[in-house]
Chain A
């Protein structure tokens, strides 16, 4: 993965002109001090605002605390309550449903787009930028725009459908359609961004492999499934892991578009935690649900790594 340049094994004299003995002790000490001086601001942020809160959330999950009075230790009571809370499990199902709708669509579309972009079309660079533009849009502002676009009466979507003679559903007030709408918004936002990574992966595949395949008379489909897809696995793994982690944390779109409704059909884990913690002020309980979210993310990420490790092909360098 990383180059071996920094390995603790002393380099052989043939490779470097540096003496094998390393820097003198005084310079070494100085380097250590300098390193920590450079790291200090970043370490302050890391320890205070990341590590301490992570430890904090574990501790708080064992307490009952409404933010006002003093916290009361309750042991595993929050976790026990969570196990029997049908709203929590509904939000788990909603989150998984969202991921299942969004990730495959987004990944397949991004792959097709990357394959097209890899043909180095004229004007490709402009098209590429246009496809990446949705990535940076503010989800809150977008939520407003999509709310308007999916409005049953005045929205662009149903106005367009009515041109085709279809009368569209009441998208966001329908328990069937609200979640697919949220998922397609995410697909819209991140397909171009995902394409960038896959395109870089495609461009790293050595041309010589395809030339060899041509000589052997390999057809287009076989080229794709025997060469392109296997060699794209490292990029695929990266894209899937980061997008899945991101999707599990969906919040903004729900907050501004549905507030978890209608009838709890878009109440995702992240939104549920927010409501418990900052609207109902049940910090201990919210912290326990946050641990559940973290456990789910770890599980799904580990599964992806295992799946890809079994099947990954080896680098050519």
Chain B
């Protein structure tokens, strides 16, 4: 009886691993295939199976997309916009979140519910008025126009950090207040150091969302001067998918790599913090 049960569990366990590993391969398969394809010579790309290793491998596709198709400037623009938005969101969300979590001021709860309520509003709704506003300000096709709408933070960011601040014991602040510390000192010296994982999570999520954002850059920019990578590679795809598929795929690989790097760097924090936000 007992051995019988052990054998079934052993089988069950092996089966489970097989399924999980197959699923994991399916999850990363498209990445691996893209990378593999980006290293294939143009003539091999269409004549070999997608999973046949790139042999002989070439860096030529990357060099071409980087030099001839403007990828270097798209990447530079994207990096600039993404870093500014991420810094802004983390700093401003932390400041706002502290006010909501700990300070008492008239209208606090009403305002907080206002923030929460807007989390359900689809982004598309705001785009027409936002575009008109930016046009009025003369910010169409500028970096300011790309950055402004999201640099001050989002309701989601405030919510995420506020929920975390509320879990930090109040005694720590009370003790610091007695020692004469002001609000700013408490925020910078006590709250922020205790919130590194959640701030890293917010930074990573903002980085990813800004890096990947297509629709706002599509609307607000219209020249190579400000073109970001999402707009750049979707244009590349539109023009060259049939005649230069190797270039398009190399562009896609270049767009994905920085994200994978950022994600793997912070994945421990993210996996934990994402789960926590869902429990609240």
Contacts and interface: CB of A to CB of B under 8 A. Distances in A.
B263 A145 contact: no
A179 interface: no
Given A156-B51, A196-B275, A290-B128, A45 B152 contact: yes
Contact of A196 (B150, B237, B256, B271): B271
Interface of A: 2-3, 5, 28, 31-32, 34-36, 38-39, 41-46, 48-54, 56-57, 60, 67, 113, 116, 119, 121, 127-134, 136-149, 154-156, 159, 188, 192-193, 196-197, 199-201, 204, 234-235, 238-239, 245, 248-249, 251-252, 255-256, 270, 273-274, 277-278, 283, 286-287, 290-291, 293-294, 297-298, 301
A43 B259 CA distance: 30
A251 B50 contact: no
B11 to A, nearest CB: 15
Given A49-B148, A137-B30, 10 more contacts: A3-B166, A31-B103, A41-B91, A45-B154, A51-B118, A53-B128, A56-B133, A249-B124, A251-B215, A283-B128
Contacts of A56: 128-129, 132-133
30 contacts: A32-B104, A34-B184, A39-B95, A45-B150, A50-B118, A50-B121, A53-B125, A116-B19, A127-B21, A127-B24, A131-B24, A133-B27, A133-B28, A133-B260, A133-B263, A140-B233, A141-B34, A142-B252, A145-B34, A156-B33, A156-B49, A188-B26, A188-B30, A193-B274, A197-B275, A234-B279, A248-B122, A251-B124, A293-B122, A297-B120
Interface string B95-125: 1101110011110100100110010111111
Interface of B: 13, 16-17, 19-21, 23-24, 26-28, 30-31, 33-34, 37, 45-46, 49-51, 88, 91-93, 95-96, 98-100, 103-106, 108, 111, 114-115, 118, 120-133, 148-155, 158, 166, 170, 183-184, 187, 208, 211-212, 214-215, 218-219, 229-230, 233-234, 237, 241, 245, 248-249, 251-253, 255-256, 259-260, 263-264, 267, 270-271, 274-276, 278-279
Contacts of B150: 45, 49
Contacts, number: 280
Nearest to B37: A148
Given A127-B21, A130-B24, A249-B122, A287 B128 contact: yes
A35 B123 CA distance: 28
B122 A270 contact: yes
A301 B229 CA distance: 34
A138 B92 contact: no
Given A139-B212, A301-B120, A130 B28 contact: yes
B274 A196 contact: yes
Contact of A140 (B126, B129, B255): B255
Contacts of A52: 129, 133
Interface pairs A-B: 10 shortest CB-CB: A45-B152, A56-B129, A200-B275, A156-B50, A42-B96, A53-B129, A53-B126, A197-B278, A141-B252, A35-B103
Given A38-B95, A270-B124, A140 B214 contact: yes
A214 to B, nearest CB: 15
Contacts of B229: 138
A140 B183 contact: no
Contacts of B114: 46, 51
Nearest to A59: B129
The dominant DSSP class at the B interface is helix
A42 B108 CA distance: 14
Contacts of B133: 48, 52-53, 56
A316 to B, nearest CB: 14
Nearest to A185: B30
B16 A116 contact: yes
B237 A256 contact: yes
Nearest to A301: B120
A188 B154 CA distance: 27
Contacts of A129: 264, 267, 271
Nearest to A239: B278
B252 to A, nearest CB: 4
Contact of A252 (B148, B215, B270): B215
B229 to A, nearest CB: 8
Contacts of B248: 144
A110 to B, nearest CB: 11
B152 A138 contact: no
B136 to A, nearest CB: 11
Given A140-B234, A188-B27, A256-B237, A145 B252 contact: yes
